[in-house]
Amino acid sequence: MNDYIIKCENLGFTYSDGDDSGSVEIPALRNVSLSVKRGEYLAILGHNGSGKSTLAKLLNMILTPTVGKIYIDGVDVTADDFTEDDVFAIRRKIGMVFQNPDNQLVATVVEEDVAFGPENLGLPREEIRRRVNSSLALVGMQGYSRHAPHKLSGGQKQRVAIAGIIAMKPDVIIFDESTAMLDPLGRREVVEIMERLNREEGITVINITHYMEEAARADRVVVINDGEIALDGTPREVFSKVARLHSMGLEAPQGNELVLLLRAAGCKIDGDSLTEEECVETLYNFISKEKTI
């Protein structure tokens, strides 16, 4: 079995912005080479317009690259002889959850919406029912199976959209700014589902986000800047490069930024603060040490 579920080689994509005076070529991605291991939890960061959502659409074959190669589970999906049937087969391997859940909900009842994908696969009724029940249970929505999706909260709608993807049994799920329209509680719920899918179900998760605290929870972080990969490493490695992040219009997680500001103000604070929990511990240790001096 191939260790890498996704491999991109020298990937590039250019949009054509046509008008009456002619077409303008707008490069969105340049020379992107990226490998994603099977079962990895990857976060992708970048400022608005950096190219991160374009990359997601290329991986899901919504867009076709201008140059370069994409391999999904060892298959060259950019090959000239790649057919529409091949595209359908690959899309079964990679699910995608978008920013606005309303754009993914297609039925008037929750369980019917989750069943939509498996029904299109032509699965037996018993298997569809099993997948619907297990998918709703995974996202904590089993008690809402007969509810109308449009009456749910934003976070609940997004959980139903995720359940619909899970029911297709993909190897990879790409979350493209999937928490951007949610309140803090909804964001936390969706991130916890991402982690559960990755760590308990073994699904490869790619979270494209602009929330640093979300990215800090991943196994690995990739930063895209102006269409190119600027940073790639563990969250601790990437978020240690604060000045570089600032130069790209990004920040480190808030706890990390707070500790850096306190150090700049003269506070002798030791320890890391990548997550909220680490920040609390770092500040607690600092205050406790100060009291004993």
pLDDT above 60 (res 41)? yes
pLDDT above 60 (res 147)? yes
pLDDT above 90 (res 125)? yes
Provide the pLDDT for residue 15.
87
Q: How far is CA 291 from the centre of its chain?
A: 43
Provide the pLDDT for residue 280.
86
Provide the pLDDT for residue 40.
97
Mean pLDDT of 10-19: 84
pLDDT above 80 (res 65)? yes
CA separation for the pair 245, 110 (Å, rounded): 41
CA separation for the pair 215, 211 (Å, rounded): 7
| pLDDT: which is higher, 27 or 42 | 42
Least confident of 158-167, 171-180, 212-221, 281-290: 281-290
Its pTM surpasses 0.75: yes
